[in-house]
Amino acid sequence: MKKLVCILSCFTLLSAAFFLPSTPVYAASAKAEILIEADTGQVMFSQNCDKKLPMASITKTMSLLICAEEIEAGNLALEDKIKASAYASSAEGSVIWLNTGEEMTAAELLEAVIISSANDACIALAEHISGSEAAFVKRMNERAKELGMTDTRYANCVGYDDNLHYSTARDIAIVTAELMKHEVFRGWMLTWLDYLRGGETQLVNTNKLIRTYNGILGGKTGTTDNAGCCLTVCAERGDMRLVAVTLGCADDDERFSSAKELLDYGFGGFEKFTPETDYTQIKPIKVTHGIEQEIIPVIKTQGEECVIKKGRSADVKYEYTFVEQCEAPVEVGQFLGEYLVTLDGAEVFRSEIIATREIPRMNFWKCLWLIVSEMTSF
């Protein structure tokens, strides 16, 4: 009986160890990978995530983001009729063979872009929104700058190889997370097969994970000779929404297996966590040459969630640092210290500690006014 208990105990320990999520194996041929939690932007795993690389049709995540924002702003309607220009109909690569002058609705063109990555449909939408592809691309670059995508440059709206067209895994994760906030395209992103032109044109989704991965919300593939096989995907389980990006894989199978492994690692090994605030650590800070002698600092960002490894909340460390004193005038928002949350020495959350009110500098007239106010109060 004792032997049986011992064997069962050993089996339990081995099983637990076996099923604990390990750090994902870096895809052999992938040039860059990243996994982030979409709501917080927190990086959970990365390899070469800031390396500038060609991105192929993953470019269309930004094209689609602008389309989604135009729809929500009321500037683009799904029923709008759009006529294909000669330039749009001359597009190469993945296309739906638009004829010059052919008219489709914005919904049909968007479906072709999202499901089949149609370059001609994407250019037709870009021309309709901005007047030309060049003007649309300018807007793409402006939006990238607004999102903090500092290592991205777009030269076209579809993803053709170009020395001046590149991004990073980190930046692609940022735009993917932003795009997935808009649910207008969700149905098409999860559609495997559909048809246009009354059944004459078949659309097959290039993202195989929509058929196999639990919680998948959508994503975008991309493939060119220079970029290799690329993928960005978003999935959600419970309160966790993750974005996985893999660039430069050698083949189709590797990009999907790599992204799946990244997502499994995130969902299996991490959880949302809200840092606590120990208000006993918040002490008044001395103010010199002010009409008041001290100020109570405030943590600028409180109550926001972050992501930590599962079951490790008790090991989280908190650090509060403050300036020794500050000289008046004190301005609203002035830096007074820092609040840092770490786990195993790694940062999981950081916020400035600031002043939330002004303290003017003392001068003769303010001093006189204070004396008079004090005297008249008796």
Known catalytic membership, residue 117? yes
Active site residue 46: no
Indicate the angle between helix axes 133-146 and 60-72, nearest 10 degrees.
90
Residue of 31, 60, 220, 260 with catalytic role: 60
Is 57 considered catalytic here?
yes
* Catalytic-labelled residue, pool 57, 63, 94, 116: 57
DSSP helix, strand, coil percent of the chain (3-state; round to 5): 35, 30, 35
Q: What are phi and psi of 43, to 5 degrees?
A: -85, 125
Active-site residue, selected from the candidate residues 46, 63, 85, 117 = 117
Q: How many CB atoms lie within 10 A of CB 335?
A: 14
- Residues in CB range of 306: below 8 A, 6 or more apart: 40, 42, 272, 273, 274, 275, 341, 348, 349
Q: What is the DSSP secondary-structure string of 194-222?
A: EEEGGGTEEEE-S-GGGGT-TTEEEEEEE
Tokens describing residue 129: 């929104």
- How many degrees, rounded to 5, is the angle at CA 155 between CA 141 and CA 260? 80
From residue 303, alpha-carbon distances to 37, 50, 337 in Å are 17, 29, 18
Spatial separation of the C-alpha atoms in residues 43 and 64, rounded to whole Å: 24
Provide CB contacts within 8 A for 356, sequence distance 6+: 298, 332, 333
Q: What 3-state class would DSSP assign to 340?
A: strand
Structure-token match 């002043």, residue found? 355
CA atoms of 112 and 159, how far apart (whole Å): 15
Which residues are identified as catalytic?
Answer: 57, 60, 117
